[in-house]
Chain A
Amino acid sequence: MRDVRAARREFGLGALGVLLAFGVCEAVSRAGIVRRSYLPPASEVLARAAELAGDAAFLDGIGATLRAWALGLGLACVIAVPLGLLLGSVPLVDSAVRAIVEFLRPLPSVALIPLVSLLLGSGSGTEVALIAYACVWPILFNTVYGLGETDPLAKETLRAFGFGRLAVLLRVELPGTAPFIAAGIRISAAVALILAVATELLAGFGEGLGIFIAQAGLATDGTRDVLAGVVWAGALGLVVNGVLVWGERRLFPWTPEHRGADGGGARR
């Protein structure tokens, strides 16, 4: 019962925060503190964002952005999960690759946009490649970290029952690491959205949410469209995150942070 009340309270506070921010934006613009063409009232921006939901060309752009997002994120998973499992379970490979990884990781992927555009052209190839590059890191590190967190006693138990190394990897380490991998994917999903929009913004032509924002920014009085596009980007991020959090709770009810939530009953 207390959980429900706490959740309701949290939701209420969140809604209050949103309303407050909305009100401030609206007031600042309406009162003429900032010029209307720089910052249109929040209600106008929201109305425009809603209107865009009926705009076929705009929706095609959203579709293109989401396609690149999904492709890049998927590619990152395919690369990062096996690589992470390898790094996490074979110390020799880990030592060999560690230096390269530590060199590549801090490179800001947004800074790579011009370089990759030069190599792959400014199409969706560049976009997907950059998304995949940026998304590999959270997934890779979470996989390696998760493997390290696998309980040695669980592994020892399986070994004592005669299971070999591969069986221990598949039956203990992989399922035990799955929640960490999922968390890595959730972090990467947000990163992927940033990269998708950023690449499109810099490329400046083609189709996608970033293109829409870039072109709106060039038009006179385009601020309203720019902001409406930003609202869409934010909403997409929110939805993606919500879906992934929900999925994690469904898939991994055993993790300590989920145990209470789904009515596990007595724990001790």
Chain B
Amino acid sequence: MLDLSAVGQYYGDHQVLHDITLTVPDGQLLCVVGPSGCGKSTLLRTIAGLLPAREGTVTIDDTPVTGVPDRLAVVFQDYGRSLLPWLTVRDNVALPLRRRGLGRAERRTEADRILDRVGLSGTARRHPWQLSGGMQQRVAIARALVCRPTLLLMDEPFGSLDAQTREDLEDLLLEVHRTDGTTIVFVTHDIDESVYVGDRVVVLTPGPASKIALDLPVRLPGERDQIATRGLPEFVALRAQVGRAVRGQFR
């Protein structure tokens, strides 16, 4: 369980986040939405332990987060900068396993298994920059999944991909979430995406000093499907609710 209690964050004297209190139960896929510059990424970095909380506390399973927590994985929007260009796809994916003390052969097997899972078998020996953007982001997702994280943080992971690729990757993410039951915090500025992907959507107010504007459970009937789900009246109603909150029209 991920627990944020009265978290405040600053850049110098400039307050970015104010009084964020949030409990994410195990296995939940939480989407964090907000206009750009509202501190979504800062929130994610705080949870990741990359940026110590200036106010309040972050705990994972009742242990305060002081450094980077164990069994954490992160996917950033900018796959081109986040993947290491001098390593092959396989070596990029196997990189987190080096910290787990696995031998070379084991790392290789694990990496290939996970590449297969994200639909990238056959690219193991290429380099990330030789692949399309969508494939590169799949590599980044594979790298995040390879050490079987209990908490997966994603910072606008599909923000720079074209619509078709984006939908494919949303479904890949849902499949991973369904099978592994990983807790996921998914930051996006796309309202539709947040409702489609999330079990729950949290909307932040525009900065400075962003607070939680809306905390909304997403209950959609049946398995999610890009065409059918987006046409459901429930989906449309939720999307409108989130949209109004993002635009600052609260009721």
A residues adjacent to B (C-beta < 8 A): 151, 153-154, 156-163, 171-172, 175-176, 252-255, 259, 264-268
Contacts and interface: CB of A to CB of B under 8 A. Distances in A.
B70 interface: yes
B104 interface: no
A161 B83 CA distance: 13
B173 interface: no
B81 A153 contact: yes
Contacts of A159: 50, 68
Contacts, number: 64
A151 B79 CA distance: 12
B118 to A, nearest CB: 17
A153 B78 contact: yes
Interface stretch (B2-10, B18-26, B129-137, B188-196): B129-137
Contacts of B132: 266, 268
A136 B114 CA distance: 45
B86 interface: yes
Contact of A161 (B78, B95, B133): B95
Interface in B86-113: 86, 95-96, 99
A161 B78 CA distance: 16
B127 interface: yes
Query: In this complex, which of A151, A160, A266 has the most chain B Cβ atoms within 10 angstroms of its Cβ?
Result: A160
A176 B84 CA distance: 9
Query: In this complex, which of A161, A252, A255, A266 has the most chain B Cβ atoms within 10 angstroms of its Cβ?
Result: A161
Contacts of A171: 84, 95
A151 B85 CA distance: 11
A151 B50 contact: no
Contact of B129 (A158, A160, A162, A264): A264
Contacts of A266: 130-132
Given A254-B85, A266-B130, A268-B132, 6 more contacts: A160-B48, A160-B74, A252-B86, A254-B86, A264-B130, A265-B126
A254 B126 CA distance: 11
A253 B99 CA distance: 27
A253 B127 CA distance: 10
A176 B48 CA distance: 24
Q: Identify the 8 closest CB pairs spanning chains A and B, nearest first.
A: A254-B85, A160-B74, A153-B81, A161-B96, A157-B82, A151-B81, A265-B130, A264-B130
